Structure 1
Amino acid sequence: MDQLLEKLEGSTLISSPADKFYNFFKNDMNKLLNVAPANFQSVELIRGDDGSVGAVKRWKYVLGGISLSVDLETVAMDDDARSITFRALEGDVLLLYKTFQFTMTVSDGSVQWTIFYEKALLTAPPPDAYIAFAIMNSKNDMNKLVNVVPANFQSVELIRGEEGSVGAVNRWKYVLGEISLSVDLETVAIDDGARSITFKAIEGDVLLLYKTYQFTIAVSDGSVLWTIFYKKDFITAPPPVAYIAFAIMATKLVDLYLLTH
């Protein structure tokens, strides 16, 4: 496997027999249009033999309310391991990822999905990663993050305004997913009554993928809520985390279908 590829995994439980579930994706995957018509719009075999290595199908589907398409090639099948690997040859997902392939592995009672991908823009991780990043550091004071979490926050510099006030702009250098990034964050709103602060990115790596990127932290007794508002530069290419959720959702629907047919 290419060393540049990153991996994302997800799994879910199933109740249908493992062989039956595996054979659905091997031989009857087109029936996803019947199982989940709101998510799968059409499928067309454009090369090879259906159910065989080398087959290429053009799928039209909906993810996050957006209509997308992808040409998927079946690149590997292992009946003993009950696993199938697909690779994207053309389509919207390749706007963000130079390489995108995934493997489904079925065992008794569960299905494992593994995505291998190489980002087209290495410096711009998906918003989901920023949410996890924010939650991990929820208990730390902002400027003290450089001292508290030096592995993640490298430096901070006030470049405009007064610290702790609306209009202040800080330049942060930080590490996310082992990548060194920077962002100029402006404090755009402070509500002491609601214990909330809103920041907006005005320069930096995150804006390579997102035309608009701002987040709000709201503190209540015993919890902290982070909310990110963003507008994608490539609205047709959702992050791979969304594809894991998509795969798990499809798994549940197929499982229900097989139990009732």
Structure 2
Amino acid sequence: MALTGKLSFETVIRSPAAKFFNLMARQLHHLQNICERIHAAKLQVGNDWDSVGGSVKHWTYIIDGKVVTCNETIDIIDEQKYLVIYNLFDGDISKNYKVFKLAFQVSDNSNNSGTLVTWSVEYEKINNDVEAPYGYMEYLDKSTKEIDAYLLKA
């Protein structure tokens, strides 16, 4: 069994791509007030929530029915491609994974039926006994729907 892997999925939302991207790239601190499974988010290092590589955020959230924590930095914000890559580390995430990269990209759906959101998780498990992070995919799907509902009201 491989220690490294990648999981991904696509979903369609009704919010404009630019609006979803802006929230996820520039306003992460709002997620704790939008998503039911995010219990807390704190800026641990740095002065802003959206600097690439410079700020460290501490997250407390629920995966597979369990409260977990991690730290996060932003590796890439690509304004042209509407792409953000986050690096998750320390806390509970490091108990199972040496590497955990979470990426999303949004684009206007070609048939004018909303916005396409693509999520992917690239990971390296600490050993073969660790399961692939399927719970994160379910968490991201639910959170995406909550964010979409919030943005449609705003």
User: What is the TM-score when the length of structure 1 is the normalising length?
Assistant: 0.53
Q: List per-residue Cα deviations over 1:12-39 (Å, max 9, x = no partner).
A: 1110000000000111122111112x31
Paired with 1:117 and 1:102, the residues of 2 have a C-alpha distance of 9
Q: List per-residue Cα deviations over 1:84-119 (Å, max 9, x = no partner).
A: 111112121221111111111111111101101011
How many residue pairs align between the two structures?
145
Q: Show the counterpart of 1:19.
A: 18
Task: Please tell me the residue identity of whatever aligns with 2:26.
Answer: N
Task: Please tell me the residue identity of whatever aligns with 2:116.
Answer: S
Rg bigger for which structure?
1
Shift of 1:5: 3.4
Give the aligned CA root-mean-square deviation in angstroms: 1.6
Paired with 1:84 and 1:5, the residues of 2 have a C-alpha distance of 21
Q: Show the counterpart of 1:95.
A: 95
Paired with 2:4 and 2:86, the residues of 1 have a C-alpha distance of 15
Q: Show the counterpart of 1:221.
A: none
The 1:42/1:63 distance shift into structure 2, 3 A limit, reads same
Q: Show the counterpart of 1:115.
A: 121
Task: Please tell me the residue identity of whatever aligns with 1:244.
Answer: M
Greater fraction of residues in helix: 2
Identity of aligned residues (%): 32
Task: Please tell me the residue identity of whatever aligns with 1:99.
Answer: V
For residues 1-261 of structure 1, the aligned pairs below 5 Å read 5-36=4-35, 38-48=36-46, 49-54=48-53, 55-108=55-108, 109-122=115-128, 124=129, 126=131, 239-261=132-154
Q: List per-residue Cα deviations over 1:146-194 (Å, max 9, x = no partner).
A: xxxxxxxxxxxxxxxxxxxxxxxxxxxxxxxxxxxxxxxxxxxxxxxxx
Which secondary structure state, in structure 2, belongs to the residue aligned with residue 116 of structure 1?
Answer: strand
Q: List per-residue Cα deviations over 1:50-80 (Å, max 9, x = no partner).
A: 2110221000111222111110111111000
Shift of 1:125: 5.6
Paired with 1:43 and 1:97, the residues of 2 have a C-alpha distance of 21
Paired with 1:26 and 1:119, the residues of 2 have a C-alpha distance of 27
Query: Mind listing any 5+ residue stretches in structure 1 that lack a counterpart?
Result: 127-238
Paired with 2:143 and 2:136, the residues of 1 have a C-alpha distance of 10
Contact 2:29 2:49 in 1 (8 A): no
Shift of 1:249: 0.8
The 1:62/1:125 distance shift into structure 2, 3 A limit, reads closer
Contact 2:61 2:67 in 1 (8 A): yes
Bigger relative contact order, structure 1 or 2, given CA contacts below 8 A and separation 6+?
2
Which secondary structure state, in structure 1, belongs to the residue aligned with residue 127 of structure 2?
Answer: coil
Query: Mind listing any 5+ residue stretches in structure 2 that lack a counterpart?
Result: 109-114
Task: Please tell me the residue identity of whatever aligns with 1:243.
Answer: Y
Paired with 1:105 and 1:80, the residues of 2 have a C-alpha distance of 11
Paired with 2:94 and 2:11, the residues of 1 have a C-alpha distance of 26
Q: Show the counterpart of 2:112.
A: none
Paired with 2:90 and 2:130, the residues of 1 have a C-alpha distance of 22
